[in-house]
Amino acid sequence: MPQPETVPVFIGGEWQASSATDTSPVYNPSDGTQIAATPMGDATEVGRAIEAAHAAFPEWAETPAVDRARVLFAFKQLLEDHFEELSQIVTREHGKTLEESRGSVRRGIEVVEFACGAPSLLMGESLENIARGIDCDTIRQPLGVSVAISPFNFPVMVPLWTLPVAIACGNTFVLKPSEKVPLSAIRMIELLEEAGCPKGVVNLVHGGKGAVDTLLTHPDVRTVSFVGSTPIAKYVYETATRAGKRVQSAGGAKNYMIVLPDADVDSTIDAVMGSAYGCAGERCMAGSVLVCAEDAGSRFLDPLSDAARKMRVGPTDRDPDSQMGAVVTRQHLESLHASIEEGLREGAELFVDGRDVKVEGAPDGFYLGPTVFDKVQPNMSIARNELFGPVLSVMHTDDLQGAVERCNNSGFGNAAVLFTSSGAAARTFRHHVNAGMVGINVGVPAPMAFFPFSGWNNSFFGDLHVQGHEGVSFFTRQKVTINRWIDTKRYF
């Protein structure tokens, strides 16, 4: 059997073989086969990419914003033309259902659409006569080389959170995708090259900690964007800020969904299922804790467990009826199994055991079915740690206040959701919950491209979030000019 192909790097406008000798396997999670290998690039190779971006920066920064936008318009059209191809690549290397992959690619394209408005987004402000005869204005200017280190769970969407905004603002870019899912990012950069992006403006490298540390500390890097687990997000933030970089570092989450007895049963069950088990739970916006306040558990727990048992788990690359796919690697599957065992040892009650799932025709796939724990207590590991898989922990409280307190004590702050038909309860929840993205009868309150992805607490390290106007602010710095012209000729 031939060895899987080692994927290339893209440096200074050229696709080339990596100089790395070590590689990391890329799997199709649906059947467990290796489909590619990712080179684990070193500091020298990453440094070449940064140098290429640094060399391309002066010309790109001077390129009119309208011309930069035209490259993005062409890129957006190519993404549309290859939408189905990109979605299938995501499904093949990640394991999402095709519908989920399409949704994630669409969300990425929406950020490109937003960035196409660069001429308007980059406009400054002005005020005449801040004092007699003195005017003041602001302009936005790019910073230099921007770096993005992206996770495995959204191979197209997360890179597109930052790349189009960064280059629209006049920065150049180095992307390091997850070694687990390089194929989507490679195809995306090929399309950007086809759209007319000048050589060196965007570069792509691969690697592990050594590559990451180079990206975080290289003197020519000005901004760092990261998405991943909280421990690594904190490390990225602390390391890069010590090196003088501007950083936005998104971490993990433990997102609470609270249900009140007055919530609509059918729509709530659908929303909870989508939140807990969409993308096999491998997303930082997944609802991983369901708190049944008052006596809501008597209405919701049985139908929820029934829906979980009936969910169709299968090979998403060839079964269009699969409602949930595999997790990304066997190592991650084993970690999830260990977490389930730990939950049992701590005394949680396993209502639905996803380890029992059987997937016909894919014995080597990395499958864990929907799992439901009941009677989970806040001190249990399955309640405190981000498992990043299709495991839902159910808690019970006497009232909404107790449910919100449990959410606020989690230490994270990405998303929090309430299911209710009471406007007063919804307003109280929105005001008091300690999370940056709030859903009312919405299971996954992920904002559109023109709003910030606004994680709080241990879910985000930095000041300016990805997406929206905060993204534009992150990738630019403001220059204030105060003008005074002495009218010696007395024109008026």
What's the pLDDT tens digit per position in 369-397?
999 999 999 999 999 999 999 999 999 99
Round to whole Å and give the CA distance between 323 and 106. Answer: 19
Q: CB of 45 within 8 A of CB of 207?
A: yes
Confidence of residue 487 (pLDDT cuts 50, 70, 90): confident
DSSP character at residue 356:
G
In the predicted model, is pLDDT for residue 489 greater than 90? no
Confidence of residue 490 (pLDDT cuts 50, 70, 90): confident
Mean pLDDT, rounded, for 396-406: 97
Which has the closest alpha carbon to 224: 248, 208, 206?
A: 248
Mean pLDDT, rounded, for 350-379: 96
pLDDT in tens, 40-67: 999 999 999 999 999 999 999 999 999 9
Q: Is 90 helix (H, G, I), strand (E, B) or coil?
A: helix
Mean pLDDT, rounded, for 432-460: 97
In the predicted model, is pLDDT for residue 319 greater than 70? yes
Confidence of residue 1 (pLDDT cuts 50, 70, 90): low
Round to whole Å and give the CA distance between 169 and 141. Answer: 7
Residue 235 makes CB contacts below 8 A (sequence gap 6+) with none
Q: Which residues pair with 417 in a beta bridge?
A: 257, 439
Q: Which two tokens stand for residue 392?
A: 């839902």
On the 0-12 / 13-18 / 19+ scale of CB atoms within 10 A, 354 is buried
Phi, psi of 255 (to 5 degrees): -85, 125
Sheet strands (E) in 32-124: 33-39
Residue 488's pLDDT is: 85
Torsion sign, CA atoms 142, 146, 150, 156: positive
In the predicted model, is pLDDT for residue 364 greater than 80? yes
Q: HSE of 387 in the Cβ direction (CA atoms, 13 Å)?
A: 31
Cα-atom radius of gyration of the chain, to the nearest Å? 24
Domain assignments of the chain as residue spans, ordered by start: 9-252+455-480, 255-411+415-440
Mean pLDDT, rounded, for 163-178: 98
Mean pLDDT, rounded, for 252-266: 97
On average, the pLDDT of the chain sits at 97
Residue 96 makes CB contacts below 8 A (sequence gap 6+) with 90, 104, 279, 280, 316, 325
Residue 2's pLDDT is: 67
Which has the closest alpha carbon to 117: 449, 385, 465?
A: 449
Q: Which residues pair with 140 in a beta bridge?
A: 478
Which of the following is catalytic: 116, 197, 279, 284? Answer: 284
Going from the C-alpha of 22 to that of each of 42, 206, 209, the distances in angstroms are 10, 11, 13
pLDDT in tens, 87-104: 999 999 999 999 999 999
Against a cut of 0.75, is the pTM above it?
yes
Is 284 a known active-site residue? yes
- Return the number of other C-beta atoms located less than 10 Å from residue 384's C-beta: 15
| Alpha carbon 86 to its chain's center | 17
Residue 390's pLDDT is: 98
Identify how many contiguous H helices and E strands the chain contains and give both numbers.
Answer: 16, 20
Residue 488 makes CB contacts below 8 A (sequence gap 6+) with none
pLDDT in tens, 236-249: 999 999 999 999 99
* DSSP for 291-344, written as a single string: EEETTTHHHHHHHHHHHHHH--B--TTT-TT-SB---S-HHHHHHHHHHHHHHH
Q: Using a pLDDT cut of 90, give the percent of the chain over it.
A: 97
Q: CB of 149 within 8 A of CB of 239?
A: no
Q: CB of 88 within 8 A of CB of 101?
A: yes
pLDDT in tens, 180-206: 999 999 999 999 999 999 999 999 999
Q: Which two tokens stand for residue 440?
A: 């009312």
Superfamily of domain 9-252+455-480: Aldehyde Dehydrogenase; Chain A, domain 1 (3.40.605.10)
The pairing of strands 172-176 and 145-149 is: parallel
255-411+415-440 topology per CATH: Aldehyde Dehydrogenase; Chain A, domain 2 (3.40.309)
Q: CB of 272 within 8 A of CB of 412?
A: no
Which residue has tokens 């008026």? 492
